[in-house]
Amino acid sequence: MSTTPQSTATDFKLEAYVRYLAARGLAKLSVDTYLSQLQDYLVTRTREGTTDEETMNTWLAAAACTSTRRVRSVALRHYYDMLHMDIVVPSVRGGYSKPTFPPESETVSVLEAALKTAVTKGTAPLLAYYLMADCGLRVNEVVNIKPAHINTERRELTVHAGKGGKNRIVPMSTRLLNAYRERVPDIEPGQCLTGFNNRHSITSVLRRACLRTHQPIVSPHQLRHYFASQLLDNGVDIITIGTMLGHSNITTTQHYLHRTSSHLHLAYNNTFA
């Protein structure tokens, strides 16, 4: 198939866009997300034959939700900044999701039991669960963890190029280490540790397990909050928790640490009673 000068120029811009985002320190997952949105935008602009401003407005409005419109807006701002073009990209505000709270301990225990009895993918669902509940990994990080990132002697794993492009080391629990050793013989060369290729498959497995056991739906992000709350309840300081979560700002970590009224009264009584 022959290439046209226009398609060649587009490919060149996309390659330059990837380099531009990487130079700004964006993580690979963020780069891939913005690149995907930009490709869709450029295809839409070519198909419609409209100006940048006209395409931009209709393309942003066509997004399924506010969060997608926000991602599209940021992707376009990066694109036109790279080209040094004086085009104003509308900012997308509002529509943020409600605060995420960790699931109850009973719900988590039932979920773990359900994943242990799951017949699909062997130990893979349970391993993915432990990576989130015991290590606080983001679901996209779980997808990218490979056996080479595991150090069984030191009982730790390395998260490579997490959000913000930073690596971090997280200790491994005994149950995670055991699940890893059971899973290793089933892993194909070059395959990710859990065998899940995308975040949606992990979310789906958790959802099905919750529905089977008639428990509230638990999301991957809630398990990350559960991890942070368990550390806090056991006396781990907020700086250490933020480090293990991969946060660069303590303010972000504070959003993960939820205190109920009973927790507050218990802390007060232990101090002043």
Residue pLDDT, tens place only, 2-45: 455 456 667 888 999 999 998 888 888 888 999 999 999 999 88
Residue 140 has pLDDT above 60, yes or no: yes
Q: What pLDDT is attached to residue 128? A: 93
Supply the pLDDT for residue 5. 47
Instruction: Say if CB 195 and CB 187 are below 8 A apart.
Output: yes
Distance of alpha carbon 73 from alpha carbon 91, whole angstroms: 6
Assign residue 102 a region: left if phi > 0, alpha if psi is -120 to 50, beta otherwise? Answer: beta
Determine contact, residues 126/136, Cβ cutoff 8 Å.
no
Question: pLDDT-derived band of residue 1, with 50, 70 and 90 as boundaries?
Answer: very low
How many angstroms separate the CA atoms of 67 and 33, rounded?
A: 13
Which of 94-98, 160-164, 191-195 is predicted least confidently? 94-98
Which of the listed CATH numbers 1.10.443.10, 3.40.50.300, 3.40.228.10, 3.40.190.10 matches domain 105-267? 1.10.443.10
Mean pLDDT value across residues 87-106: 71
pLDDT at site 159:
93
Q: Give the mean pLDDT of the chain.
A: 83
Phi, psi angles (nearest 5°) of residue 168: -150, 155
Collect all residues with Cβ–Cβ distance below 8 Å to 124 and sequence separation of at least 6.
Answer: 183, 194, 195, 196
Contact predicate 114/213, CB 8 Å: yes
Beta strands of 129-254 (E only): which ranges?
150-151, 156-159, 168-171
- Of 163, 173, 128, 149, the closest CA to residue 245 belongs to 163
Residue-wise pLDDT for 39-75, tens only, equals: 999 998 888 888 888 888 889 888 877 888 889 999 9
What single-letter amino acid sits at 109? S
**Per-residue tokens: 18:** 């990837």
* Region label for 38, one of left (φ > 0), alpha (ψ between -120 and 50) or beta (otherwise): alpha
Displacement of CA 163 from its chain's centroid (Å): 8
- Residue range 183-208: average pLDDT? 85
What 3-state DSSP class applies to 266? helix
Question: Above 70 in pLDDT, residue 169?
Answer: yes
89 neighbors 56 (Cβ within 8 angstroms): yes
Indicate the pairing of strand 168-171 with strand 150-151.
unpaired
Confidence class for position 160, pLDDT limits 50, 70, 90: confident
Q: Where are the domains of the chain?
A: 5-83, 105-267
Active-site residue list: 138, 163, 221, 224, 247, 256
Confidence of residue 258 (pLDDT cuts 50, 70, 90): low
The secondary structure of residue 248, as a DSSP letter, is S
pLDDT, one tens digit per residue, over 219-249 is 898 999 999 989 988 888 999 999 999 988 8
